[in-house]
Amino acid sequence: MERETVIARLIGHVFGDGSIHKTKYYFIYTNSNNVLQQKVKELVIKTFGKVKYNVGTSIGGILRYQYPSRVGRFLSERGAPVGSKITQPTTIPEWIFKGDDKIKSSFLGAIFDDEGYFRDSSNSRQIVFKASKIIELRPELERYLLQIIQMLDDLGIKASNVKHDQLKTKKNGIEVISLRFWITGNNNFRNFREKITIFHPEKIKKLSNMI
């Protein structure tokens, strides 16, 4: 992969199951799938060379890799969000949003590896994507999802409009809203498989079943 597409994919993972520490700038990737963890590690090494990293688990027991602050600082300089994504607007960096097909594909592959839900049942075949933010940021959340829909459209993949998913109230009283969109249809599934590379083994299998 070319360097810019590698960086775009890493930034996609920050928007997905990754995060950059608000003050210390560690890049942390929390995902239970070992294939994705190894892929992210490979992307980090391609971009930064050999780096030290820590492996542990989250509070919920999910596999968690922590990479040095120089990784997080670099990704933040290229447009990755820093700190909690639920409590701040998240806008896809312009160089990715308006990039070539390889750049867009790389970013989208990462966020769908992390956040996409692939449903391959006989009576419901669809790819669902949803994201959440505090209720006050609902307009920003919708704009973010519309950015993703536009990027998919640029690659010939048609998605639904943005729809309400659910509203939850946390123990501290903060309301969090989730919005979603979905992709259906054999042509869209074929275009997705052709244009966007995902690495999650179960999602690859489900996508194949859907076509």
Distances (CA, A) of 54 to 51, 164, 200: 10, 38, 22
Q: pLDDT value at position 1?
A: 61
Q: pLDDT value at position 169?
A: 85
Tell the burial category of 183 from Cβ atoms under 10 Å away from its Cβ (0-12, 13-18, 19+). buried
* pTM reported for the whole predicted model: 0.94
Tell the burial category of 103 from Cβ atoms under 10 Å away from its Cβ (0-12, 13-18, 19+). buried
Q: pLDDT value at position 174?
A: 87
Q: pLDDT value at position 163?
A: 93
The tens digit of pLDDT for each residue in 164-189 reads: 888 888 778 789 999 999 999 999 99
Taking the C-alpha atoms of residue 80 and residue 68, their distance in angstroms, rounded to an integer, is 15
Q: pLDDT value at position 173?
A: 79
Residues of the chain with pLDDT under 70: 1
What's the CATH class of domain 101-210? alpha beta
CATH superfamily, with its number, for domain 3-83 = Homing endonucleases (3.10.28.10)
**Residue 209: phi, psi to the nearest 5?**
-65, -30
Examine domains 3-83 and 101-210 and report if their fold is the same.
yes
Q: Are 210 and 122 in contact (CB under 8 A)?
A: no
Taking the C-alpha atoms of residue 157 and residue 151, their distance in angstroms, rounded to an integer, is 9
**Tokens 């997705």 belong to residue:** 192
The tens digit of pLDDT for each residue in 43-61 reads: 999 999 999 999 998 888 8
Distances (CA, A) of 108 to 31, 94, 113, 163: 17, 14, 8, 20
Q: Nearest 5°: CA angle at 206, between 200 and 209? A: 145
Extents of the domains making up the chain? 3-83, 101-210
Which amino acid is present at 110? A
